[in-house]
Amino acid sequence: MTKIAIEFPGVKALSGVDFQVKTGAIHALIGANGAGKSTLMKILAGAYSHYTGSITIDGQQVEIRTPSAAKQLGIEIVYQEVDTALVPYLSVAENIMLDVMVNRMGKQQFVRWNEIHRSAQQTLNRMGVKIDTRELVQNLTLAQKQMVLIARALSEQARFLVLDEPTAPLSTTETQELFRLIKDLAYNNNVGVVFISHRLPEIFEICEDVTILRDGLVVTHQPVSEVRPLQVIELMLGHRFDETYPKTKVPIGEKIFEVKNLSTYDSAVGNASMYVRAGEIVGVAGLVGAGKTELSKAIFGALPQKQGEIYLKGRKITVRTPYHAVQQGLALVPEERRKEGVLVEEPVYINLSAASLSLFSSALGFLRGAAEHASARKVISDLGIKTPSDSQKVAYLSGGNQQKVAVGKWLVTEAEVYIFDEPTKGVDVGAKHEIFELIGKLVAAGKGVIYASCELAEIIGITDRTYVMYDHTIVKELVTAETNEAEILFYSTGGK
């Protein structure tokens, strides 16, 4: 790709980018949120037609302005926005074979269902993934949806495969499986793989070359073996970076929140008990699928509770719906933020006030526009949300910046207990720091924080105490200062 440039209203997303990939190799494309990674890859996949610059394959100039043109050249992409790329009410097999099916219908060919399921199953087997091909996609976890998208890309013979943050929803084991697959594609099938990730160790583990983007420009392009991790971070951010976890010491007060024997109907959560004290950051550790998301949702009334009690400041509360939860003083930053955490069709400032409209409404009941904008702008600058203005539609922000909006909208609410479900997923290292700092401010103000994450380093880095989940329930409580990653992992994998 040579001198690629593209603009959107108010945003110059790429300003003359050169990018080369070899077949038979894995190439890392990295950069802070909003740097232009997805845009560059969308151009390669034919999602945009209004860019300038040229694309060459094997020395031959090619014209890529539509998705089908890209496919014909053997370019497959797994988009970052997992849920928008899938059809929720269709089966796993139909989603995997979607392109093949559409192609055949175009040619008026018959769709043979058995064959569709068999091919889909073959692809999943090849990936070592166990998902029923007849299951509806809407019933899958985020990690499973990601696997379905990858399977779809693999169902075609690709020469170039772009994976835009494929590991964000995956656990360590699933990530290792995916890496095995990617290496097999690159080294045994001569596919050129472009790999985008905010988890830098992954870059150092599987990539040969790295291209770093910053603000729509390439800042470096070199073999991975020639750069050090900290150097990569600083090139990405464009400034010096302190790699430690910012953790301010705050006094821990009384117990303000307690969950007793909470269970949900479909046993996604079984008999979980936990408490949080004022000023305390309580971790919920566990592998993907252990039930962290379900526990967060059940506490917040987003999953029906079968039994259990919830106490806030010593008072028993009933949380049947998220509406009740917000009324009582709970806040949740959900894991599937694009789907559950933001209103993508609304501007940034509306999103940053949706959870706290009462704060902005005057006695007369109309919105106090100026206050709303002022508060939105503060969150935008606190979290470094990259947007041309607070009136930009959230759908137009980069993936990581959408996440920041989902986190940010709760920071303007006055809740007592904040639940964060994997809040750093998909955000760059700089923004991660800012999120930790903001969580620090919440606890300094005497709030309680529940922090669910499968990143053990984060659990160790910022929590005071941690609960470990295994098989849909809490199996262990640990004081963070007295534990380590190995011990948490031991309990996360069912150790007793």
Ligand X SMILES: Nc1ncnc2c1ncn2[C@@H]1O[C@H](COP(=O)(O)OP(=O)(O)OP(=O)(O)O)[C@@H](O)[C@H]1O
Which residues make up the interface to ligand X (CB under 6 A)? 8, 11, 13, 31, 33-39, 80, 386, 396-401
Least Å distance, CB 215 to ligand X, is: 9
Say which entry of Mg ion, ligand X, none residue 397 contacts (CB below 5 to 8 A, set by partner kind): ligand X
**Interatomic CA distance for residues 180 and 6, integer angstroms:** 35
Q: How far is the CB of 208 from ligand X (least distance, A)?
A: 21
| Shortest-Cβ-distance residue relative to Mg ion | 38
DSSP structure class, residue 220? E
Least distance from ligand X to the Cβ atom of residue 193, Å: 17
> Backbone dihedral region of 85: left (phi > 0), alpha (psi from -120 to 50 degrees) or beta?
alpha
Handedness of CA 339, 473, 418, 242 (dihedral sign): negative
Rounded-to-integer distance, Cα 386 and Cα 383, Å? 9
Site for Mg ion, residues 31 to 90, rule: CB under 5 A: 38, 80
End-to-end, the C-alpha distance of the chain in Å comes to: 53
Partner from Mg ion, ligand X, none contacting 39, C-beta within 5 to 8 A by type: ligand X
Q: How far, CA to CA in Å, does 220 sit from each of 165, 210, 229, 239, 419?
A: 20, 8, 14, 15, 38
Supply the minimum distance, in Å, between the C-beta of residue 65 and ligand X. Answer: 16
Q: For ligand X, which is the closer residue by CB, 276 or 429?
A: 429
Instruction: CB nearer to ligand X: give 319 or 376.
Output: 376
Which of the listed partners (Mg ion, ligand X, none) does 8 bind, with a CB threshold of 5 to 8 Å by partner kind?
A: ligand X
- 264 contact choice in ligand X, Mg ion, none (CB below 5 to 8 Å, kind-dependent): none
CB within 8 Å of 360: residues ≥ 6 apart: 353, 367, 368, 371, 372, 375
Report how many residues bind Mg ion under the rule CB under 5 A. Answer: 4
CB-based closest residue to ligand X: 400
Q: d(Cα 255, Cα 276) in Å, to the nearest integer?
A: 6
Number of H helices, E strands in the chain: 19, 20
Instruction: Output the smallest distance, CB 33 to ligand X, in A.
Output: 3
Is 426 near Mg ion (CB under 5 A)? Answer: no
Query: Could you tell me the smallest distance in angstroms from the CB atom of residue 239 to Mg ion?
Result: 21
- Side-chain-facing half-sphere of 389: CA atoms under 13 Å: 5
Of residues 119 and 403, the one with the C-beta less far from Mg ion: 403
CB of 134 to ligand X, least distance (A): 33
User: Helix, strand, coil: what percent of the chain each, to 5?
Assistant: 40, 25, 35
Of ligand X, Mg ion, none, which one does residue 233 interact with (CB within 5 to 8 Å by kind)?
Answer: none
Sequence-distant (≥ 6) Cβ neighbours of residue 12 within 8 angstroms: 5, 216
**Residue nearer to ligand X on the CB measure, 55 or 256:** 55
11 binds, among ligand X, Mg ion, none (CB under 5 to 8 A by kind): ligand X
Residue with tokens 């007592």: 416
Nearer to ligand X, 119 or 402 (CB): 402
Closer residue to ligand X in complex, CB, 64/468: 64
401 binds, among Mg ion, ligand X, none (CB under 5 to 8 A by kind): ligand X
Neighbours of 153 (CB within 10 A): 21
The least distance separating ligand X from the CB of residue 427, rounded to whole angstroms, comes to 7
Distance CA 349, CA 389 (A): 9
Nearer to ligand X, 35 or 272 (CB): 35
Q: Letter for the amino acid at 244?
A: T
Least CB distance from residue 211 to Mg ion, whole Å? 14
Q: Which does 448 bind (CB under 5 to 8 A by kind): ligand X, Mg ion, none?
A: none
Comparing CB distances to Mg ion, the nearer of 86 and 284 is 86
- Closer by beta carbon to ligand X, 71 or else 337: 337
Q: Which is nearer to ligand X, 175 or 483 (CB)?
A: 175
Name residues contacting Mg ion, limited to 144-203 (CB under 5 A): none
What is the spatial distance between Cα 299 and Cα 245, in angstroms, rounded to a whole number? 27
DSSP-derived secondary structure for 54-108: EEEETTEEE---SHHHHHHTTEEEE-S-TTTTS-TTSBHHHHHTHHHHHHHHHTT
- Closest contact distance (angstroms) between CB of 229 and Mg ion is 21
Closest to 398 measured CA to CA, from 130, 102, 198? 198
Among positions 399, 408, 423, 448, the unique one binding Mg ion when judged by CB under 5 A = 399
What number of residues does the chain have? 496
Residues forming contacts to Mg ion in the complex (CB under 5 A) are 38, 80, 398-399
